[in-house]
């Protein structure tokens, strides 16, 4: 499997996390900044175990005040109802007119299990197997309405063509779902699935279901190796590896602190930190690092988590992005309107629609 890249434009995403913020205003300022930078998408993390608002709700609140940027909340799969989860993500796609994603995550530990009181904590292997089941059930439910199921045929009195609605009959190890969904197929067909594949337990789920995999790598060689591994695994699941975007995930501190990059070396390189690899330096050096990693085939793009959200996102958008645009490595405007279009990913065919149906 070839892992070469550097051909296409790179993809850029940023985390919107603002610890302690429950009011929409600061999120609005950040997401508008990200959109001004023409970023592919923003993410918002979530977990039942730590303070913070429901991430999908925040991004739904931001949908009407933005027009192009992709909106990717984390929604965990361990304690939620898969039917509710898929409906909420599809609805985010409807309210954003095709800009929704879903970062799948699991809930580990007894502490979160006690908040629900329904099941004991389980090891990560089992949780990620279940996350894969949730992704399978969700994608089936997203296909459970064919795109043209709504017919409004006054001559027969039928609002829908029920032959174009499908039971999904999913049977997993921990749950089953009958279907069809209550939500008609959304603008993107399938909202974009994102999985952080750094944890080896998450890798198989990422290879099977992710449109975008995140890898937290300290250097380009490690990132390239993870990317190659994910593409190989995707192919083994019968996927075209070019339908998987692998983004290197870095925390960034653009305050030009003590680990400022050495000029001309593509940055001093990320250092280990509690958030994963942390890049520290200036916006110009970050552009240098991104260009160097991208051209060496380390990643299809980058997911950046600003350490100081307002300051660092502003420096990223006003400093790093224009340099990448100037080099022709990053878009200067959104040519499309959906997140799939930003990522260069096709709208998935519906698995239930009859291929070559002559009617």
159 binds another protein (CB under 8 A): yes
157 binds another protein (CB under 8 A): yes
* Whether the Cβ atoms of residue 113 and residue 152 lie closer than 8 Å to each other: no
Q: 5 or 181, CB closer to another protein? A: 181
94 binds another protein (CB under 8 A): yes
Return the HEC string of 84-101.
HHHHHHHHHHHHCCCCEE
22 binds another protein (CB under 8 A): yes
CA distance 14 to 42: 5
The strand ranges marked E within 116-177 are 150-153, 158-160, 170-171, 176-177
79 binds another protein (CB under 8 A): yes
* Whether the Cβ atoms of residue 239 and residue 271 lie closer than 8 Å to each other: no
135 binds another protein (CB under 8 A): no
The strand ranges marked E within the chain are 11-15, 41-44, 70-76, 101-105, 150-153, 158-160, 170-171, 176-177, 192-196, 212-215, 245-253, 278-280, 301-306
Considering only the stretches 173-181, 190-198, 203-211, 258-266, report the one whose residues sit in contact with another protein under the rule CB under 8 A.
Answer: 173-181
Candidates 156, 173, 358, 359: give the one binding another protein (CB under 8 A).
156
User: C-beta of 245: minimal distance to another protein in Å?
Assistant: 25
CA distance 131 to 129: 5
248, 246, 250: which is closest to 305 by C-alpha?
A: 250
Count of residues that interact with another protein, criterion CB under 8 A: 63
First to last CA, the chain: 40
175 binds another protein (CB under 8 A): yes
Q: 54 or 242, CB closer to another protein? A: 54
List the interface residues with another protein, window 108-127 (CB under 8 A): 111-112, 114-118
61 binds another protein (CB under 8 A): yes
Please count the residues of the chain: 359
User: C-beta of 338: minimal distance to another protein in Å?
Assistant: 14
Candidates 91, 222, 296, 325: give the one binding another protein (CB under 8 A).
91
CA distance 64 to 334: 17
337 binds another protein (CB under 8 A): no
Cis peptide preceding 320, ω within 30 of 0:
no
Candidates 80, 273, 296, 337: give the one binding another protein (CB under 8 A).
80
353 binds another protein (CB under 8 A): no
Q: 44 or 233, CB closer to another protein? A: 44
Candidates 1, 36, 84, 327: give the one binding another protein (CB under 8 A).
84
List the interface residues with another protein, window 210-269 (CB under 8 A): none
User: C-beta of 87: minimal distance to another protein in Å?
Assistant: 4
83 binds another protein (CB under 8 A): yes
68, 46, 40: which is closest to 58 by C-alpha?
A: 46
Question: Is residue 74 classed as helix, strand or coil in its secondary structure?
Answer: strand
CA distance 150 to 153: 9
Q: 174 or 296, CB closer to another protein? A: 174
Phi, psi of 307 (to 5 degrees): -75, -40
191, 16, 210: which is closest to 99 by C-alpha?
A: 191
Q: 62 or 313, CB closer to another protein? A: 62
Q: 137 or 244, CB closer to another protein? A: 137
User: C-beta of 33: minimal distance to another protein in Å?
Assistant: 17
Binding residues vs another protein (CB under 8 A)? 22-24, 48-54, 56-58, 60-65, 79-84, 87-88, 90-92, 94-95, 97, 111-112, 114-118, 145, 149-150, 152, 154, 156-162, 165, 174-180, 182-184
């Amino acid at each position: 499997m070839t892992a070469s890249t550097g051909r296409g434009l790179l993809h850029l995403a940023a985390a919107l996390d603002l610890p302690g913020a429950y009011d929409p205003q600061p999120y609005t300022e950040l997401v508008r900044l990200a959109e001004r930078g023409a970023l592919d998408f923003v993410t918002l993390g979530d977990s039942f175990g730590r303070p913070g608002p429901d991430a999908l709700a925040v991004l739904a609140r931001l949908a009407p005040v933005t027009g192009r940027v992709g909106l990717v909340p984390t929604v965990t799969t361990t304690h939620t109802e898969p039917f509710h989860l898929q409906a909420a993500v599809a609805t985010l796609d409807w309210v954003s007119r095709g800009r929704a994603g879903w970062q799948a995550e699991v809930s580990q530990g007894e502490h979160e299990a006690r908040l629900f009181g329904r099941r004991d904590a389980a090891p990560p292997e089992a949780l990620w197997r279940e996350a894969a089941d949730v992704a399978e059930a969700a994608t089936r439910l997203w296909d459970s309405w064919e795109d043209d199921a709504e017919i409004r045929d006054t001559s027969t009195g039928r609002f829908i063509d029920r032959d174009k609605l499908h039971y999904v009959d999913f049977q997993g190890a921990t749950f089953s779902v009958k279907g069809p969904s209550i939500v008609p197929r959304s603008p993107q067909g399938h909202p974009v699935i994102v999985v952080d594949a750094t944890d080896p337990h998450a890798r198989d789920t990422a290879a099977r279901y992710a449109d975008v995999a995140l890898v937290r790598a300290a250097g380009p060689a490690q990132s390239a190796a993870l990317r190659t591994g994910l593409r190989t695994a995707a192919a083994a699941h019968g996927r075209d590896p070019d339908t998987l975007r692998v983004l290197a995930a870095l925390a960034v501190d653009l305050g030009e602190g003590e680990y400022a990059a050495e000029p001309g070396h593509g940055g001093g390189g990320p250092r280990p930190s509690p958030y994963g690899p942390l890049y520290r330096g200036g916006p110009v050096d970050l552009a240098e690092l991104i260009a160097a990693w991208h051209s060496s085939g380390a990643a299809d793009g980058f997911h950046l988590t600003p350490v100081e959200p307002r300051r660092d996102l502003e420096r990223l958008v006003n400093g790093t992005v224009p340099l990448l645009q100037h080099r022709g490595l990053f878009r200067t405007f959104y040519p499309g309107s959906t997140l799939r279009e930003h990522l260069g990913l096709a709208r998935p065919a519906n698995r239930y629609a009859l291929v070559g149906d002559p009617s």
